[in-house]
Amino acid sequence: MLVLLGIGVVVLGFALRANPLVVVMAAALTTGLAAAWTPDADLQMMYDAALATIAAFGKAFNDSRYVSIVWVVLAAIGLLERAGLQERARIAIANVKAATTGRLLWLYFVIRQAAAALGLTSLGGHAQMVRPLVAPMAEGAAESKYGALPDRERYLIRAHAASADNIALFFGEDIFIAIASILLIKGFLEQNGIIVEPLQLSIWAIPTAIAALLIHSLRLWLLDRRLKRVLEAKPAQSEVAP
């Protein structure tokens, strides 16, 4: 049971908001020491166990290098960004005149999920797309329909803009064969003597991606209905006039 202490270190580390890399290393050392600990262990034995844990971690780190090879992609993506790839994506989205908050977020969701499925995970993101573009556009869509927004609804729309980005990313990216999570699964199975190819894994991410699209489409439709119900309670002056 003592080996479960490593999990406690992870929980504690994240609760204290320590640097995650430090937390991971501390959890690995704790686990290695806990596994070696016996009532009559002395300092020398624990020292040896610490060295053995560092070596075990190093071996796994070296065997897992392929997880980090995907970063070379950034050389190509950065080059395209330099030529205006993000701006082109913004133009492509802005040209679609969606009438409602829900439909606009839905459109972003679909584009984000499709792009992530093609491996273009850096085509969105909270800092690059949601704050400067998606959230203001979603708020603007509601404002043009219902006038000035109460704070409650404004924050609700913003939260939905952020969540659309997350959900579309999570349940799109695993369709792409070279994403870190697919490689992690591949590596894990390999350590257990099961050889699979990334493509065999990514295919089975498709049903969940469709389920996520269906469920979140319903959520965004409900968001539109809710905004309509709450905000139409105070009818716009222009519509009351004959």
- Residue 72 touches other proteins, criterion: CB under 8 A: yes
For other proteins, the binding residue among 111, 137, 149, 205 (CB under 8 A) is 205
Stretch that binds other proteins, among 40-48, 58-66, 142-150, 231-239 (CB under 8 A): 58-66
For other proteins, the binding residue among 38, 97, 148, 207 (CB under 8 A) is 207
Nearest distance from C-beta of residue 45 to other proteins, angstroms? 16
94 versus 236: smaller Cβ distance to other proteins: 94
213 versus 231: smaller Cβ distance to other proteins: 213
Nearest distance from C-beta of residue 237 to other proteins, angstroms? 29
Q: What is the 3-state secondary structure (H, E, C) of 80-126?
A: HHHCCHHHHHHHHHHCCCCCCHHHHHHHHHHHHHHHHHCCCHHHCCH
Nearest distance from C-beta of residue 228 to other proteins, angstroms? 18
Nearest distance from C-beta of residue 126 to other proteins, angstroms? 4
173 half-sphere exposure, CB direction, 13 A CA radius: 18
- Residue 59 touches other proteins, criterion: CB under 8 A: yes
- Residue 96 touches other proteins, criterion: CB under 8 A: no
Residues 95 and 230: their CA atoms lie apart, in Å, by 29
Stretch that binds other proteins, among 40-48, 86-94, 96-104, 234-242 (CB under 8 A): 86-94
Reported for 189-198, long-range contacts at CB under 8 A and 24+ positions apart, including other chains, are 191/63
Q: Convert 206-229 to b/e letters by CB count within 10 Å (16 or more is b).
A: eeebeebbeebeebbeebbeebbe
96 versus 211: smaller Cβ distance to other proteins: 211
> Restricting to residues 138-197, which ones interact with other proteins according to CB under 8 A?
151, 155-156, 158-163, 165-167, 170-171, 174, 176-178, 180-185, 187-189, 191-192, 194-197
139 versus 231: smaller Cβ distance to other proteins: 139
Token representation of residue 179:
């994403």
Query: Does residue 110 contact residue 102 with C-beta atoms inside 8 Å?
Result: no
Query: Does residue 157 contact residue 135 with C-beta atoms inside 8 Å?
Result: yes
Residues 116 and 176: their CA atoms lie apart, in Å, by 7
Query: Does residue 226 contact residue 157 with C-beta atoms inside 8 Å?
Result: no
Identity at 109, one-letter amino acid code: F
- Residue 57 touches other proteins, criterion: CB under 8 A: yes
- Residue 108 touches other proteins, criterion: CB under 8 A: no
- Residue 16 touches other proteins, criterion: CB under 8 A: no
Nearest distance from C-beta of residue 124 to other proteins, angstroms? 11
- Residue 241 touches other proteins, criterion: CB under 8 A: no
Residues 135 and 160: their CA atoms lie apart, in Å, by 8
